[in-house]
Amino acid sequence: MNIKKTFAKFIGDRAFYSRVLLITIPIMVQNGISNFVNLLDNIMVGRIGTEQMSGVAIVNHLVFVFYLCIFGGFAGAGIFTAQYYGKGDYEGIKQTFRYKLLLGFFILAATFAIFKFHGSDLIMTFLMGDRNGGDPAATFGYAEDYLHILLFSLIPLAIVQVYANTLRECSQTIVPMKAGLLAVFVNLVLNYLLIYGKLGFPCMGVKGAAWATVTARYAEMLIVVVWAHTHPERCPYLKGVYSTLAIPLKTVKRIFLTGIPLLINETLWASGVTMLAQCYSMRGLNVIAAYNILGVISNVFNVVFFSMGDAIAIIVGQHLGAGDMKRARDDDNKIIALAIFISVIVAIIIAISAPFFPRLYNTNEDTRRLAAQFLLAQAVFTPQIAFLHTSYFTVRAGGRTLITFLFDSFFMLCVNVPLAFVLSRFTDLHVIRIFALVQISDWIKCIIGFVLVKKGTWMRNITRS
Q: What is the pLDDT along the chain (465 residues), one digit of tens a residue?
A: 455 555 666 676 677 788 888 778 877 776 666 666 666 667 777 777 778 878 887 888 788 778 878 877 887 788 788 778 877 788 888 888 899 999 999 999 998 889 888 888 888 887 775 555 567 888 888 889 999 998 998 999 899 989 988 888 887 778 888 888 888 889 889 988 998 888 888 888 889 989 998 999 899 999 999 998 998 888 888 888 888 888 888 888 888 887 787 778 777 887 888 889 889 988 887 888 888 888 877 777 777 777 888 788 778 877 787 777 888 888 888 888 888 888 899 899 999 989 888 887 777 888 889 999 999 999 999 999 999 988 888 887 777 777 877 888 889 899 999 999 999 989 989 999 999 999 999 999 999 888 888 887 777 776 664
Tell me phi and psi for residue 43, to 5 degrees: -65, -40
Q: How far, in whole angstroms, is CA 461 from its chain's centroid? A: 26
291 and 277 Cβ atoms separated by less than 8 Å: yes
Q: What was the pLDDT predicted at 363?
A: 76
The rounded distance, in Å, linking the Cα atoms of 364 and 51 is 11
Which residues 6+ apart lie within 8 Å of 352 measured at CB? none
b/e per residue 100-136 (b: at least 16 CB within 10 A): bbebbeebbeebeeebeeebeebbeebbebeeebbeb
CA angle 396/402/404 to nearest 5° reads: 45
119 and 61 Cβ atoms separated by less than 8 Å: no
- What is the radius of gyration, based on Cα positions, of the chain? 22
Q: What was the pLDDT predicted at 132?
A: 58
323 and 90 Cβ atoms separated by less than 8 Å: no
The rounded distance, in Å, linking the Cα atoms of 426 and 187 is 42
**Which amino acid would we find at residue 70?**
I
The rounded distance, in Å, linking the Cα atoms of 375 and 373 is 5
Burial (Cβ within 10 Å: 0-12, 13-18, ≥19) of residue 448: middle
CA dihedral defined by 206, 207, 208, 213, rounded to 10 degrees?
100
Q: What was the pLDDT predicted at 465?
A: 47
The rounded distance, in Å, linking the Cα atoms of 238 and 225 is 11
The rounded distance, in Å, linking the Cα atoms of 18 and 287 is 42
pTM above 0.85, yes or no: no
342 and 305 Cβ atoms separated by less than 8 Å: yes
